[in-house]
A and B are shown apart, each in its own frame.
Chain A
Amino acid sequence: MANDPKTKAAAQFIDALPHSRALDMRLEAIGDGAAEISMPWDERFVGDAETGVIHGGAVSALMDTCGGAAVMSHPLSTIGTATIDLRIDYMRAATPGQRIRARAEVYHVTRSVAFVRAQALDDDPDNPVAAATGAFTFAMVKKEPK
């Protein structure tokens, strides 16, 4: 995990989010416009009693948190962001009982928008559970005049 003060602040901020805490999210890695956050399988997060599969909404929450974390850790970010839009493609049901890990990366920033890609994986690293793309608000640090 990166050790610069901004990344540390972002990590602390994410650990303190009530909703992320309620979902037992764990920050695995953060820095340089990328983040990894995981969430346990929990029967309270199930969306379909018949199958025991985690609700898409819980995966959305994980992807959204991870995307926001990636944005906050971007080298040109002044702290703080909000989601503008988030699209999630659900490729398959997450296997019940397995931890879900989301990885997000900022692939482009403008002065006011950060564009993010994310993936969610369970124990099978070759078959993602879900993919997401999102736009987040972004406040770029003022560039030093040359």
Chain B
Amino acid sequence: MSRSAPEPVQVIKSRRDGALLRVVDSIAYAQFLGVKVDRRGDELTAVLPYSENLIGNPVLPALHGGAIAAFLEITAVVELTWATLWQDLEAGKLDPETMASPKMPKTIDFTVDYLRSGLPRDAYARARLNRSGRRYASVHVEAWQDNRSRLFAQATGHFLMQPQSGSDS
């Protein structure tokens, strides 16, 4: 019995990137803020490129707390949605071209810690799913600018998961 040949790397990459793009594109507010999402395997890093529109304190200057909160919440939602798609995606059951738009989890609550002021430059964030059940999820997000170990904000949020269309549970 022979194993079927592994898929070419470009096929896998374009399927993963395509699905990720579908997720991010379904959040208009992510486009409005200019948020991009980088991917290494299944690991995601959200990027918030600096723009003058994100400033909340022109005197310092510093990023607006609301822009930071939104960036962290987008990171959490994208990570959660990505995690729910991953298995079907890897099993080849999802085609980014034809897949239904992903069902977004609903935010129950979101708490942001502002550790230092956001400088007028790019920001990065990664989310960790601390608990991800069928119905509820708890997500922690860390955000930094220049040094990965010097966070400028972190957040914890709880989310209500939405059953994906086509799934039977």
Instruction: Give me the interface of A with B, judged by CB distance under 8 Å.
Output: 16-23, 43-50, 54-58, 60-65, 68, 80, 82-90, 93
Contacts and interface: CB of A to CB of B under 8 A. Distances in A.
A90 B110 CA distance: 8
Given A50-B101, A85-B112, A88-B109, A60 B55 contact: no
Nearest to B100: A50
B113 A85 contact: yes
Given A47-B27, A50-B103, A57-B29, A19 B108 contact: no
Nearest to A83: B65
Interface pairs A-B: 9 shortest CB-CB: A57-B70, A61-B66, A19-B64, A55-B29, A60-B69, A83-B65, A87-B111, A64-B66, A46-B28
30 contacts: A17-B56, A18-B53, A18-B54, A19-B63, A19-B66, A43-B28, A44-B28, A44-B31, A47-B104, A48-B27, A48-B104, A49-B26, A50-B26, A57-B29, A57-B33, A58-B66, A60-B69, A60-B112, A61-B66, A61-B67, A63-B66, A64-B56, A64-B66, A65-B56, A68-B56, A82-B57, A82-B65, A82-B117, A86-B114, A88-B111
Contacts of A18: 52-56, 58, 64
Contact of A56 (B33, B52, B53, B73): B73
Interface string B28-58: 1101110000000000000000001111111
Nearest to A89: B109
A2 to B, nearest CB: 23
B73 A17 contact: no
Given A17-B56, A83-B114, A57 B71 contact: yes
